[in-house]
Amino acid sequence: NAGVMQNPRHLVRRRGQEARLRCSPMKGHSHVYWYRQLPEEGLKFMVYLQKENIIDESGMPKERFSAEFPKEGPSILRIQQVVRGDSAAYFCASWAGTANSPLHFGNGTRLTVT
């Protein structure tokens, strides 16, 4: 499967715990975007990364949220000290890096904070 892989598909955390969401982009893609989607709502951009660099984190909350895309391995979205309001679907998308090419999305991680 050469698509965008996200894991886990479902993640349950208690308030105050940490959540780590992983995303492996399509083969050959070195650009990753993270989005958040609340039920019955659209996509909210969070962060855009290239290998080892954060390009745009304008959509990411300043506290508790961080993202990385190391030279080796998947991109990680990390949420510290989760609260109920963090419950949402988090989608990763990868991009080939060429103009006119689309984003390719994974199936998301559904985070539930209890």
Partner 1 sequence: GNSVTQMEGPVTLSEEAFLTINCTYTATGYPSLFWYVQYPGEGLQLLLKATKADDKGSNKGFEATYRKETTSFHLEKGSVQVSDSAVYFCALSEDTGNQFYFGTGTSLTVIP
25 touching partner 1, by CB under 8 A? no
Q: Which is nearer to partner 1, 76 or 103 (CB)?
A: 103
- Count CB-CB contacts under 10 A for residue 10: 11
Distances (CA, A) of 97 to 31, 51, 67, 75: 7, 12, 19, 16
34 touching partner 1, by CB under 8 A? no
For CA atoms 45, 51, 56, 62, the dihedral sign is: positive
22 touching partner 1, by CB under 8 A? no
Answer for which of 12, 38, 55, 83 binds partner 1 (CB under 8 A) is: 55
76 touching partner 1, by CB under 8 A? no
106 touching partner 1, by CB under 8 A? yes
Answer for which of 43, 57, 64, 112 binds partner 1 (CB under 8 A) is: 43
Residues composing the chain: 114
